[in-house]
Amino acid sequence: MVNPSKWQRATGAEVRQACRRGELSGPTSGLALGYVQANLVILPRDWAFDFLLFCQRNPQACPILEVTDPGDPEARLVAPGSDLRTDLPAYRIWERGECVAEVSEIARWWREDSVAFLLGCSFTFEAALLQAGLRVRHIELGRNVPMFRTNIPCQAAGRFHGPLVVSMRPFPPQHVIRAIQITRRYPRAHGAPVHLGQPAAIGISDLLRPDYGDPVPVEADEIPLFWACGVTPQAALLHARPPLAITHKPGHMFVTDLLDSQLDEAI
């Protein structure tokens, strides 16, 4: 049986090896504390230029940590020795924009021309918020963060386009200001919020009905803050409908060797 506190204090490499051995198959929130976790998108080479351009044009939603060479399953920069085909707890297989399977390894779907994109993740700035003494509601409630499709269009790139997806975290006013100051230091983990206070202005009609994740209440003395979200590329995949795409299962991230502090641009 998995001992969660053991994996809390593990390194990124230890978590990846446990995934590879099949010992870890659940969400990675709270594991290998201090190590940067990443969203994963894998596409065939002939779709990779459009998607790399999509990331470059929408850096708050899609902050690139690494892009692998075609056919190379190792994240040589952020996780030397890793194997992206086995080192995540769970994957999703997408065909023509539809999720057709959830699997624990992807050897069968990996191709000679597969290109893997690792994108920064909000776990990094949430760790910084917690360290600064801010309370992060969905973590306290043990829920997934609520995420919403907005009416803000992403900058299109070739076949990729779609709405910006945002995650929402409520704070009292003094902590709103502090949260903006803290998260702006992490542009490779979505950076500062993109909106606050007026959900309707960005096309969100009901904060209690997120499009992804779990609902989280906003108290009367709180203001909702909205960050660009790593689910945005999955929304763009729905539109682009590539023949094959592979992503992480939401919440089941790739754990790198990078330290959260290495993404802190204020250091």
Nearer to a second copy, 115 or 165 (CB): 115
List the beta strands (DSSP E) in the chain.
35-44, 64-67, 91-95, 98-103, 114-120, 147-153, 163-171, 195-196, 223-228, 245-248, 254-259
How far is the C-alpha of 83 from the C-alpha of 182, rounded, in Å?
32
Q: Cβ of residue 6: shortest distance to a second copy, in angstroms?
A: 35
Cα radius of gyration rounded to whole Å, the chain: 18
- Region of 71 (left: φ > 0; alpha: ψ -120 to 50; beta: rest) is left
Q: Cβ of residue 132: shortest distance to a second copy, in angstroms?
A: 20
Nearer to a second copy, 102 or 265 (CB): 265
Nearer to a second copy, 68 or 144 (CB): 68
At 262, give phi and psi (nearest 5°): -75, -15
Nearer to a second copy, 24 or 192 (CB): 192
- Residues binding a second copy (CB under 8 A): 45, 48-49, 52-53, 56-57, 64, 67, 69, 77, 155, 157-158, 187, 265
Q: Cβ of residue 31: shortest distance to a second copy, in angstroms?
A: 27
At 149, give phi and psi (nearest 5°): -75, 130
Q: Cβ of residue 155: shortest distance to a second copy, in angstroms?
A: 7
